[in-house]
Structure 1
Amino acid sequence: MTLGDATPIPQGTRAPIDRIGATVLKELVETIVSGRVQPGENLPPEGTLSQEFGVSRTVIRESVKRLQEKGMVTVAQGRGTHVNPMSAWNLLDPLVITALIGHDDDLGILDDLSVVRGALEAAMASAVAAEHSDDGVERLRESLEWMRVSIDDSTAFREADVRFHLIVMELSGNLLAENVARVLFERALESTRYQGVDPERAFELTMVEHENVVAAIAGGDREAARRAMEEHILGSWERRRLPTAKRGKD
């Protein structure tokens, strides 16, 4: 675990120190999420970690404190630092959820993420339908048009797709749901596993599903908007989802 950049740092230069601590923290999160240290087991002692990473005990102590803030460990005087069960972890923490997705071999985390994201965005779409404005509907239609004109450019199409969802979140006025959905969405988009493989005519299907959402919102139909958004998010994930040993070919 020795860090290559653990060299003497000139006084007054804080950024490299922060980078070292961030690297140690990331490695410790990976160690726990990967199962190399199981819930109920103890992390190695502070001195051992200090030697393995090639950093000071202060850096280790601060990193463990950050782990504790994320709910991943409990420090007990005289009993060491033991790993908490996953139910205690802050799963919305960017480092934690990124590591979970990275080790999600059977895609169970991404399955759960899609269900939660679908429920949240469905609720937000329903709220937009209930309080929709001409300006809000126009913004969604403009986003649809961006998707339509970029349908042959996968990168541009996906950017327009993301923009559409962010507009729905914003228009909902539900800041808590928007915050949670954004974290899930942004972390998932970083994963090639979440991107999966687009089936034939995937973008055309996506366009139709987005059009259904906009039509329901413009018509003020809360239930139709909720259903259209949830069906889109879950259906799109199922289309892209890679085969796994757990589920076999989809």
Structure 2
Amino acid sequence: MSAEADAFAFSSRRPAERLGVAVVSELVERIVTGEIPEGHLLPPEGPLCEHFGVSRTVLRESIKRLEEKGLVVVAQGRGTQVARSGSWNMLDPIVLSALIDNDESLGILDELTVVRGSLESAMAGTVALRRTPEELTRVEHVLESMREMRHDSDSSRQADVVFHLTIMELSRNRLAENIAKRLYRRALESSRYHGMGYEDAFHSTLNEHALVVDAISRQDAEAAERAMRDHIVGSWKRRRLAAPGEDAGL
């Protein structure tokens, strides 16, 4: 058995999951957490099949799924090597979920916020330039819904989400919309992303949304971009929990 196989500590098999899904899920998690580091080889087929209780056919199909996600490179005669993280498909739902769920440092959420802020600010600028009177009315209506729901935290949060999805849709940038939605919706499922409450959170959020709408109303693309980016990045910094060993003042 290779040194890589010796270093691979097997845990108990996951129950009640389809075999191929279980194999992919566990290996994705071990890779994104660094338990199997970049550049290292996966254990040989024999030990992996024994661990997961699957046939070589199932295992090979699972490795193919990892390869499609950019997590591994299969070299004939050499084995399966973990790829550099820059090659991973981080928009893949399984990969993104594993990254966020195991993100003790909050680093991936910091990165997600920067990317989301850049995409949504660009989309807000586009909406400001191209919006029709009817589209402006639609955005203003969503903002008013937030105001009306200020006494219901769940409803106001949902209206907040609708606001951002509306800007994405009205931008007509399908690629940016698709990427931003994937990031945003998955982040919303993470308790770490919601972070901690802060004083006057609703009013600051509402005011920041109003700045976006005002810029769109005036067809000021630069102001719309700035207002959206400041809102997304600023609100994350205000609610962001401190990671272990990190100064809480970030």
When the two structures are superposed, what TM-score results if normalisation uses the length of structure 2? 0.91
Per-residue deviation at 1:153?
2.0
Per-residue deviation at 1:245?
3.5
- Counting only pairs closer than 5 Å after superposition, residues 1-250 of structure 1 correspond to structure 2 as 1-5=12-16, 19-245=18-244, 247-250=246-249
Moved more, 165-174 or 102-111: 102-111
Question: 1:11 maps to which residue?
Answer: none
SS of equivalent residue, structure 1 residue 74: strand
8 Å CA contact retained: 1:216, 1:224? yes
SS of equivalent residue, structure 2 residue 219: coil
Per-residue deviation at 1:146?
1.8
Aligned length: 238
Name stretches of at least 5 consecutive residues in structure 2 with no aligned partner.
1-11
The one-letter amino acid paired with 1:70 is K
SS of equivalent residue, structure 1 residue 38: coil
SS of equivalent residue, structure 1 residue 25: helix
For 2:58 and 2:76, locate their aligned partners in 1 and report how far apart those are by CA, in whole Å: 19
8 Å CA contact retained: 1:50, 1:60? yes
8 Å CA contact retained: 1:197, 1:241? yes
Moved more, 142-151 or 81-90: 142-151
Per-residue deviation at 1:243?
1.2
Per-residue deviation at 1:154?
2.0
Q: Deviations over 1:66-110 (max 9, x none)?
A: 000111001111211110110111111111111111121111111
For 2:134 and 2:162, locate their aligned partners in 1 and report how far apart those are by CA, in whole Å: 16
Per-residue deviation at 1:246?
5.4
The one-letter amino acid paired with 2:206 is M
Per-residue deviation at 1:3?
3.8
Per-residue deviation at 1:166?
0.5
Name the CA shift for 1:241/1:3 in 2 (closer, same or farther; >3 Å).
Answer: closer
Q: Deviations over 1:153-182 (max 9, x none)?
A: 222111111110000001001111111111
Per-residue deviation at 1:204?
0.9
8 Å CA contact retained: 1:3, 1:54? no
For 2:25 and 2:122, locate their aligned partners in 1 and report how far apart those are by CA, in whole Å: 34
Identity of aligned residues (%): 54
For 2:15 and 2:239, locate their aligned partners in 1 and report how far apart those are by CA, in whole Å: 39
When the two structures are superposed, what TM-score results if normalisation uses the length of structure 1? 0.91
Per-residue deviation at 1:115?
0.7
Name the CA shift for 1:106/1:2 in 2 (closer, same or farther; >3 Å).
Answer: closer
Name stretches of at least 5 consecutive residues in structure 1 with no aligned partner.
6-15
